[in-house]
Amino acid sequence: CAPSMAWRVVNAKHAFNHAVAKGATPYNGSDKAFDVPAIVGIGGSLLYFVDTYGAKGSAYDSEFEWTGTRDPKPQGVGFYFLDHLTHNVYRGNMDKWWAFYRELFGFRQIHFFDIEGKLTGLVSRAITSPCGKIRIPLNESTDDKSQIESYLKKYRGEGIQHIAVGTDGEAGIYDAVDQLAANGLTFMPGPPETYYEMSRERVHDHDEPIERMMKHGILIDGEGVIDTARGDRMTKILLQIFSKTVIGPIFFEFIQRKGDEGFGEGNFRALFESIEMEQIRTGELKSSDAAE
């Protein structure tokens, strides 16, 4: 599970007091991962407030010990930042958690999706913090058999469905995903070949390498390469791929933004149907469920 998340803020104590004054439930238990202010968040998990400009060094230094050689900047595979994370909520609770983030922290809505798969469906409200650096899509099922309901049963409550990490490096998402696969990570089933054959019609004039996208099932979305009023050309492309579940029902998304700030709206159905196919493959979902 993901029992907590932490936000870096200018003044942790002030952020905590502000949230509590707005109605948040403070948490003062002895089992906190960090000795910093925390409130109760999604599904009873904790939301910590960590000072951005606190003591020099990692926020983990005071609470954790290195298990091997100390390496503050380990060599990764090319993903450098947290792009967004999603919440799966019980049916009827989307507005509750939307109000939680709006009233306590001033979040605003940036997207709304209503997705119907072959057998199941969901709605998703994507919200962002005033600074735009914290983005959280809230997912709610429209039936009792969808992947959202499956997650809620496995997780035993509401919480984080997936964590999206991003790259903006020169090597890009392709080399990074190759390395992840070499390290043993498996990905959600990719879309059919026709998805890639038609990609240049859907994402105008893109020059992304089709064969490399198909290799692991990297998805593409956005307006593509478009003409602007100034007479030049602008790129608005998003590349993304999803792992299979890694931590219980939680999985990861790997994303590269090339001028596109969306959530892969055009791919949302592809992701939904890929997870649905996995549910069918494992026997968790049967075609007869559609008629029930």
Confidence of residue 106 (pLDDT cuts 50, 70, 90): very high
Confidence of residue 231 (pLDDT cuts 50, 70, 90): confident
Is there a single domain that holds both residue 131 and residue 175?
yes
Cα(203)–Cα(198) distance, integer angstroms:
9
Is there a single domain that holds both residue 10 and residue 116?
no
Cα(264)–Cα(256) distance, integer angstroms:
11
Is there a single domain that holds both residue 258 and residue 122?
yes
Is there a single domain that holds both residue 135 and residue 176?
yes
Q: Is residue 74 part of a domain?
A: no
Is pLDDT at 277 greater than 90 in this prediction?
Answer: no
Is there a single domain that holds both residue 45 and residue 105?
no
Is there a single domain that holds both residue 152 and residue 282?
yes
Lowest mean pLDDT among 68-72, 126-130, 148-152, 275-279: 275-279
Is there a single domain that holds both residue 165 and residue 281?
yes
Is there a single domain that holds both residue 12 and residue 146?
no
Q: Is residue 39 part of a domain?
A: yes
Contact partners, residue 102, CB within 8 Å, separation at least 6: 108, 127
Is there a single domain that holds both residue 46 and residue 96?
no
Could you tell me the CATH number of the domain that includes residue 267? 3.10.180.10
Could you tell me the CATH number of the domain that includes residue 20? 3.30.720
Is there a single domain that holds both residue 158 and residue 253?
yes
Q: Judge contact between 77 and 176, C-beta under 8 A.
A: yes
**CA distances from residue 268 to 195, 221, 228, 285 in whole angstroms, order as listed:** 13, 10, 27, 19
Cα(264)–Cα(218) distance, integer angstroms:
12
Q: Is residue 258 part of a domain?
A: yes
Is there a single domain that holds both residue 254 and residue 162?
yes
Q: Is residue 281 part of a domain?
A: yes
Residue 174 domain boundaries: 81-187+240-288
Its sign, for the CA torsion 251, 266, 137, 152, is negative
Residue 227 pairs in a beta bridge with 233
By the 10 Å C-beta count (0-12 exposed, 13-18 middle, 19+ buried), 121 is classed as middle
Is pLDDT at 209 greater than 80 in this prediction?
Answer: yes
Is there a single domain that holds both residue 15 and residue 104?
no
Q: Is residue 216 part of a domain?
A: no
pTM for this structure? 0.84
- Going by the DSSP 8-state scheme, the letter that residue 68 receives in this structure is S
Q: Number of structural domains, the chain?
A: 2
**CA distances from residue 70 to 56, 64, 67 in whole angstroms, order as listed:** 16, 12, 8
Q: Is residue 204 part of a domain?
A: no
